[in-house]
Amino acid sequence: MLKENTIERLTDMMHDLAQKAAVRDAADLLCWTPLAPLIRAARRARIQENTRDIRMRQKAAKLCAEVQRDHADLLVPAWT
């Protein structure tokens, strides 16, 4: 059974997505103006930042998996 506020939450999420899409569409239109180099630079910066975040998460996940594999004895409480 769905909670009472599920419809409201879904409506809010769709509204937020529509607003983000409108901003993206506006940016797409600006790409055809003299502002195009600025828009491209902003997009490039956002993509680079997202790529850096993804790579850091992958490295951290690999490091955590190695630590868990190599030092599994540290994950067990000492009093058991």
pLDDT at residue 7 greater than cutoff 60: yes
pLDDT tens by residue, 23-54: 777 777 777 778 788 888 888 998 999 999 99
Q: How far is C-alpha 57 from the geometric centre of its chain's CA atoms?
A: 11
56 lies in a domain? Answer: yes
The number of distinct structural domains making up the chain is: 1
Is residue 14 a part of any domain in this protein?
no
- Given pLDDT bands bounded at 50, 70 and 90, which one contains residue 80? low
pTM of the predicted protein model: 0.53
Find the domain containing 38 and state its range: 28-70
pLDDT score, position 14: 76
Enumerate residues 6+ apart whose C-beta is below 8 A from 36: 30
In a domain, 8, yes or no: no
Q: Which helix (H) or strand (E) holds 3?
A: none
